[in-house]
């Protein structure tokens, strides 16, 4: 599995490094920028954890849903053309992604997990990997339970994953590309960069992973396409190391006094 991960990482690097060099949004950003080694740890280690957790979520969901799901539902879905199934998965998954993502911003404990992703201060394709494994497991698993249990074909799910993964790299990348009218249909790099902005007018905006229309419907969209944010990151304290970030949500605070020794840490609500 490690060889497969390395191969995919090298292919992705071969695609995005030249693009970020030729079409940079921030021209002074270096390839080996701060914390590139941290993000490399996420890229090489986290897939093992995420894979196991994702399978657990899908199996558990199947055990709950399959016994009560009418067979006719799966038959109708399975009979649809491959393209129809892929489009349906994109819509269903992104609606799920939107609400799970929003929960990670609004629920304090979940924000402690998600703050790891928002600790990114220099955006590029590699930074897309910096996601706490539990965050990734829950977000991906909960948003894809329906496609996995409602009769969608293996091929349609595989195509969705290819689209989702490459689009994820693109929207995090340091590429200066304008989507024009397409930005109303598909999340652009600029659109997602605003989600990562450490600027007050961008807090809790642009939750959607692929379809901006979902943010537009729920009034959480910033449709600035002519410029990106000046500052990225979060004011929530996040450790510098991979192990420190993995353990962050489970750490008790340093007590200020004996009476406070058993109290949980106050968690800053997300600003991003």
pLDDT of residue 254: 53
Residue 272 lies in a domain: no
Residues 6 or more apart whose CB falls under 8 angstroms from that of 143 comprise: 93, 94, 95, 96, 97, 100
Q: What phi and psi, each to the nearest 5 degrees, are found at residue 117?
A: -65, -35
Residue 250 pLDDT > 90:
no
Residue 230 lies in a domain: yes
Residue 258 pLDDT > 50:
no
Secondary structure in 3-state letters for the chain: CHHHHHHHHHHHHHHHHHHHHHCECCCCCCCCCCCHHHHHHHHHHHHHHHHHHHHHHHHHHHHHHHHHCCHHHHHHHHCCCHHHHHHHHHHHHHHHHHHHHHHHHHCHHHHHHHHHHHCCCCCCHHHHHCCCHHHHHHHHHHHHHHHHHCCCCHHHHHHHHHHHHHHHHHHHCCECCCCHHHHHCCCCHHHHHHHCECCHHHCCCCCCCCCHHHHHHCCCCCCCCCCCCCCECCCCCCCCCHHHHHHHHHCCCCCCCHHHCCCCCCCCCCCC
Residue 30: pLDDT band by 50, 70, 90 thresholds?
confident
Mean pLDDT value across residues 175-184: 91
Of the listed ranges 37-51, 103-117, 134-148, 258-272, the least confidently predicted one is: 258-272
Residue 202 lies in a domain: yes
Helix axis angle, 154-172 relative to 2-22, nearest 10°? Answer: 40
With contact defined as beta carbons under 8 Å apart, do 203 and 220 qualify?
Answer: no
Q: Work out the number of other CB atoms within 10 angstroms of the CB of residue 247.
A: 11
Q: Work out the number of other CB atoms within 10 angstroms of the CB of residue 102.
A: 17
pLDDT of residue 14: 96
* 59-103 tens-digit pLDDT: 999 999 999 999 999 999 999 999 999 999 999 999 999 999 999
Residue 104 pLDDT > 80:
yes
pLDDT of residue 1: 75
Smallest CA-to-CA distance from 85 within 74, 97, 96 is with 74
Residue 252: pLDDT band by 50, 70, 90 thresholds?
low
Smallest CA-to-CA distance from 117 within 248, 9, 27 is with 248
Residues 6 or more apart whose CB falls under 8 angstroms from that of 199 comprise: 229, 230, 231
Residue 47 structure tokens = 């897939």
Residue 167 pLDDT > 80:
yes
Number of structural domains found in the chain: 1
Q: Tell me the average pLDDT of the chain.
A: 91
pLDDT of residue 158: 98
Prediction pTM value: 0.89
pLDDT of residue 255: 47
Range of the domain at 204: 2-260
Residue 101 lies in a domain: yes
With contact defined as beta carbons under 8 Å apart, do 163 and 201 qualify?
Answer: no
Residue 221 lies in a domain: yes
Residue 110 lies in a domain: yes
Of the listed ranges 68-72, 126-130, 254-258, the least confidently predicted one is: 254-258
pLDDT of residue 18: 95
């Amino acid at each position: 599995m490690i060889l497969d991960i390395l191969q995919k990482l090298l292919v992705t690097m071969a695609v995005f490094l030249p693009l970020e060099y030729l079409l940079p949004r921030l021209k002074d950003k270096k390839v080996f920028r701060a914390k590139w080694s941290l993000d490399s740890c996420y890229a090489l280690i986290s897939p093992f954890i995420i894979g196991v957790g994702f399978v657990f979520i899908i199996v558990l969901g199947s055990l709950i849903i399959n016994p009560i799901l009418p067979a006719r539902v799966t038959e109708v879905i399975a009979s649809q053309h491959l393209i129809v199934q892929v489009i349906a998965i994109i819509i269903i998954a992104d609606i799920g992604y939107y609400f799970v993502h929003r929960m990670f911003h609004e629920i304090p404990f979940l924000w402690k997990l998600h703050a790891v992703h928002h600790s990114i201060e220099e955006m590029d394709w590699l930074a897309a990997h910096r996601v706490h494994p539990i965050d990734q497991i829950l977000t991906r698993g909960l948003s894809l339970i329906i496609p996995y249990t409602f009769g969608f074909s293996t091929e349609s799910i595989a195509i969705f994953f290819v689209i989702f993964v490459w689009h994820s790299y693109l929207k995090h990348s340091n590429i200066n590309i304008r989507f024009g009218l397409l930005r109303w249909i598909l999340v652009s790099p600029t659109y997602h960069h605003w989600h990562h902005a450490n600027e007050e007018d961008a807090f809790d905006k642009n939750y959607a992973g692929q379809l901006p229309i979902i943010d537009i419907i729920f009034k959480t969209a910033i449709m600035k396409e002519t410029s990106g944010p000046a500052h990225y990151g979060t004011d929530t304290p996040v450790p510098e190391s991979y192990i420190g970030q993995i353990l962050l949500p489970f750490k008790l605070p340093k007590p200020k006094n004996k009476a406070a020794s058993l109290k949980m840490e106050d968690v800053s609500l997300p600003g991003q």
